[in-house]
């Protein structure tokens, strides 16, 4: 008797556990390998919106996500003196765009998705793939710690610096494009001063935001800069130097926050990058989420990771035994969501991190129009969604 296909998923972030859940629903045997020792801990807030809302609803997770929501309701832009110079009411923006989205930390999202999938999938924490060798019938996988195993398919959901992509497609430099921005985050332990407002301060080419998350504050530094030679996304001492240089001389609370950076040992910094590949599959190996199509932090990456995982599982289930056509249909369907987001990143960056003082003033004035713009965006995507089937069958 033929057993159900086995699928190894690398990465238990957002995309990996979602794929594991839906593959198990369709009768596959998913195994997830995650390099971290437990569910991931990075705490930046992310959004579940648009096509991901229905997916999590069908997983029965809507209520749990609402309970975990950050409850941020506004973005407040301040000047050097701390006076408000622009404000976006996120409730109005959310209402204009449908009202069904939720902001949670990536930690909470990954945990909730893991808890939803752990009973129907095997999880190997604290391990990583070290080699892949595929033939016509399967993929032989070697791990750093676990014994070697053979799987029918392998999916890389291991994020921006994907190991699966490197092993099956080639070196990172071929696919990862620096957008001209860096991002750093730091969790402060003292109580948040604002419960509902994200407070943001800009200098030309730089942004600092204080984001209240369950009573504490997550600081984010986002700044423009060319690719740093010798950049190492794991070298915290280098990250402290990069931040100190980039923000030297800035006003508002920046000097005090840089002091916190100097003392912190959990500072996180990385280049804001996009991932672009001509194809997301190579034989029996496919890529999902940031590993295959990172849009960067401005582009709904978590929403796309959830929606893409659902589409990939659906297509694999539609033609069991024919992974090639399933991968091709997944890619055709999911690129329709990914491509516009990848193309919009520079516009989003100009709004959040204007490069000049004039740009900052213009953005502060433009904040008044954001809810209307969100409504227009919602209308546009509804019209596009209605037109899409006609185009597909043409
Ligand atoms: C600072 C910041 C702010 C962001 N803000 C937003 C936002 O507001 N809205 C939004 O939608 N998105 C946002 N994003 C993007 C969003 O977090 C990602 O797009 C999303 O998490 C992608 O999900 P993923 O599962 O593909 O990758 P990830 O969530 O990165 O998960 C990848 C997983 O793979 C694991 N892994 C890595 N290497 C290996 C390996 N070799 N072996 C095994 N496991 C491995 C990692 O530990 C991790 O658990 C932000 C990102 C950042 C960095």
Q: Is the CB of 44 under 6 A from ligand 1?
A: yes
Q: Is the CB of 89 under 6 A from ligand 1?
A: no
Q: Is the CB of 36 under 6 A from ligand 1?
A: yes
The percent of residues above 70 in pLDDT, for the chain, comes to 91
How many CB atoms within 10 Å of residue 365? 10
Question: Quick one: residue 173, left, alpha or beta (phi over 0 = left, psi -120 to 50 = alpha)?
Answer: alpha
- Alpha helices by DSSP H, listed for the chain, are 15-25, 51-58, 62-68, 90-96, 106-117, 163-168, 236-247, 254-263, 290-293, 301-318, 323-343, 345-352, 357-366, 370-393
Top pLDDT among 384 and 245 is at 245
Q: Is the CB of 296 under 6 A from ligand 1?
A: no
Top pLDDT among 251 and 91 is at 251
Q: Is the CB of 102 under 6 A from ligand 1?
A: no
Q: Domains of the chain by range and CATH?
A: 6-70+104-174+274-351 (3.50.50.60)
Which pLDDT score, from 0 to 100, does residue 90 have?
A: 86
The percent of residues above 90 in pLDDT, for the chain, comes to 73
CA–centroid distance, 153 to ligand 1, in Å, is 22
The residue nearest atom 29 of ligand 1, judged by CA position, is 13
DSSP structure string for 20-35? HHHHHHTT-EEEEEES
Between CA 216 and CA 262 the distance in angstroms is 19
**Tokens (6 digits) for 174:** 């071929």
CA–centroid distance, 44 to ligand 1, in Å, is 10
pLDDT of residue 367 exceeding 90: no
CA–centroid distance, 159 to ligand 1, in Å, is 5
**Tokens (6 digits) for 73:** 């309701």
Report pTM: 0.91
Confidence category of residue 299, pLDDT binned at 50, 70, 90: confident
Per the DSSP assignment, residues forming a β-bridge with 31 are 8, 122
Whether 122 and 59 have beta carbons less than 8 Å apart is answered as no
């Amino acid at each position: 008797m033929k057993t159900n296909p086995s699928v190894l998923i690398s990465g238990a972030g957002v995309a990996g556990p979602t794929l594991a859940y839906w593959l198990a629903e369709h009768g596959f045997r998913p195994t997830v390998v995650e390099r971290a020792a437990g569910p991931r801990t990075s705490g930046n807030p992310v959004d579940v919106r648009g096509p991901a809302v229905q997916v999590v609803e069908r997983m029965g997770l809507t209520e749990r996500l609402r309970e975990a929501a950050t409850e941020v309701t506004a973005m407040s832009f301040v000047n050097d003196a701390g006076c408000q110079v622009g404000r976006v009411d996120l409730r109005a923006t959310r209402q204009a765009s449908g009202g069904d989205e939720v902001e949670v930390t990536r930690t909470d999202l990954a945990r909730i998705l893991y808890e939803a999938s752990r009973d129907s999938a095997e999880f190997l924490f604290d391990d990583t793939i070290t080699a892949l060798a595929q033939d016509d019938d399967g993929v032989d996988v070697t791990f750093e710690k676990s014994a070697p195993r053979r799987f029918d398919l392998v999916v890389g959901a291991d994020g921006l610096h994907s190991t699966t992509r490197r092993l099956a497609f080639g070196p990172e430099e071929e696919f990862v494009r620096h957008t001209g921005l860096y991002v750093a985050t730091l969790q402060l332990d003292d109580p948040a001063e604002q419960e509902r407002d994200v407070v943001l301060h800009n200098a030309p080419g730089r942004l600092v935001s204080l984001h209240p998350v369950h009573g504490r504050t997550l600081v984010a530094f986002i700044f423009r800069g060319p690719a740093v030679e010798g950049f190492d996304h794991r070298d915290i001492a280098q990250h402290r130097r990069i931040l100190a240089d980039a923000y030297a001389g800035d006003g508002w609370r920046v000097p005090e926050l840089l002091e916190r950076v100097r003392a912190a040992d959990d500072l996180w910094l990385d280049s804001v990058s996009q991932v672009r590949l001509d194809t997301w599959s190579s034989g029996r190996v496919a890529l999902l989420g940031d590993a295959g199509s990172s849009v960067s932090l401005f582009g709904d990456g978590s929403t796309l990771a959830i929606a893409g995982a659902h589409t990939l599982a659906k297509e694999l289930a539609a033609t069991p035994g024919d992974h090639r056509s399933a991968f091709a249909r997944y890619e055709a369907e999911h690129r329709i969501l990914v491509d516009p987001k990848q193309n919009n990143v520079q516009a989003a960056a100009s709004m959040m991190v204007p490069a000049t003082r004039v740009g900052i003033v213009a953005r502060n004035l433009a904040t008044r129009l954001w809810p209307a713009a969100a409504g227009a965006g919602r209308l546009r995507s509804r019209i596009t969604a209605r037109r899409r089937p006609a185009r597909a069958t043409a």
